[in-house]
Amino acid sequence: MTVRVQAEDFDVGAEYAALTAGRTSVGGVTLFAGLVRDIAGGEAVSAMTLEHYPGMTERQLEAIEAEARRRWPLDEVLIVHRYGRLEPGDQIVLVATASAHRDAAFDSCRFLIDWLKTRAPFWKLEATPGGERWVEAKDSDDAAAARWVE
């Protein structure tokens, strides 16, 4: 069980190496890295500040990981999510799954990021030329998560 909520950046290569070290049963790893874009809704974004609910965030991410492990045979799961002030190009989130076979690794990684987006208590505040604005939840994110409802 590995869930980390942190202000610091992460190194995808180092995380991948740690995930697979000594794990000779792993046949495939899927990694998803989310980055800060420089444009949103047609407006330039100069910075993004992520607020979260300490305690609940970790609890919800652990519940999401447990659900993924219930659905797929996974050797390892890693979720790293940053908070605080980020700039375009910065990494926001890393989700990695390791399994004996690729289907479980691909599907569970997609599930984790889709569910995380609608359940983990994070909120994004964007800085734009027109001022700061809170990002609104997208119907497309709800639809992506709904695909995984059993």
- 62 or 107, CB closer to other proteins? 62
According to the binding rule CB under 8 A, does residue 36 interact with other proteins? no
Q: Binders of other proteins among 73-92, rule CB under 8 A?
A: 81, 92
- 52 or 77, CB closer to other proteins? 52
Interface stretch with other proteins, choices 21-29, 66-74, 102-110, 133-141 (CB under 8 A): 133-141
Q: Which residues contact 98 (CB under 8 A, 6 or more apart)?
A: 19, 20, 23, 26, 28, 29, 74, 75, 76, 77, 105
Q: Both tokens of residue 100?
A: 């004996």
Q: Both tokens of residue 83?
A: 């908070």
According to the binding rule CB under 8 A, does residue 96 interact with other proteins? no
- Kindly write out the interface string for residues 45-64 of this chain, putting x where it contacts other proteins by CB under 8 A and - elsewhere: -----xxxx-xx--xx----
Are the C-beta atoms of 91 and 82 separated by less than 8 Å? yes
Contacts to other proteins by CB under 8 A? 34, 50-53, 55-56, 59-60, 81, 92-93, 113, 116-125, 134-137, 141
